[in-house]
Amino acid sequence: MRPGSATHVTDFDHRSVALDMVHHTSGSLTVRIPDDPSLVPPGWYTAVATDGSGTSSKARWLRVH
């Protein structure tokens, strides 16, 4: 989830992107962002994983270069 940058009532930066995840036996996750840079422009994002019952993980800030 990219943080917003509101101007008046319009927020051009706010977006949510679903990512493909690979769960490793070590407990870590690997994610891949889409190849199209217009879907995930450079900047800071909040990453949250959700399990099968809809419970969210603790959010982590990630920077896309």
Q: What is the mean pLDDT of residues 44-58?
A: 90
pLDDT value at residue 8: 66
Question: pTM for the full model?
Answer: 0.66
Host domain of residue 40: 6-64
Q: What is the pLDDT of residue 58?
A: 94
Asked if residue 47 is part of any domain, the answer here is yes
> How many domains is the chain partitioned into structurally?
1
Residue 31 lies in a domain: yes
Per the domain annotation, does 12 fall within a domain?
Answer: yes
Q: Which long-range contacts (CB under 8 A, 24 or more apart) does 39-47 make?
A: 40/64, 41/2, 43/2, 43/13, 44/2, 44/3, 45/1, 45/2, 45/3, 45/17, 46/1, 46/2, 46/3, 47/1
Residue 40 lies in a domain: yes
> The CATH number of the domain where 10 resides is what?
2.60.40.10
Per-residue pLDDT band for 6 (boundaries 50, 70, 90) equals low
Whether residue 1 is contained in a domain is answered as no
pLDDT digits (tens, 9 = 90+) for 9-49: 667 777 788 888 898 999 888 988 899 988 888 988 999 98
- Position 5 scores a pLDDT of 67
| DSSP-assigned letter for residue 48 | -
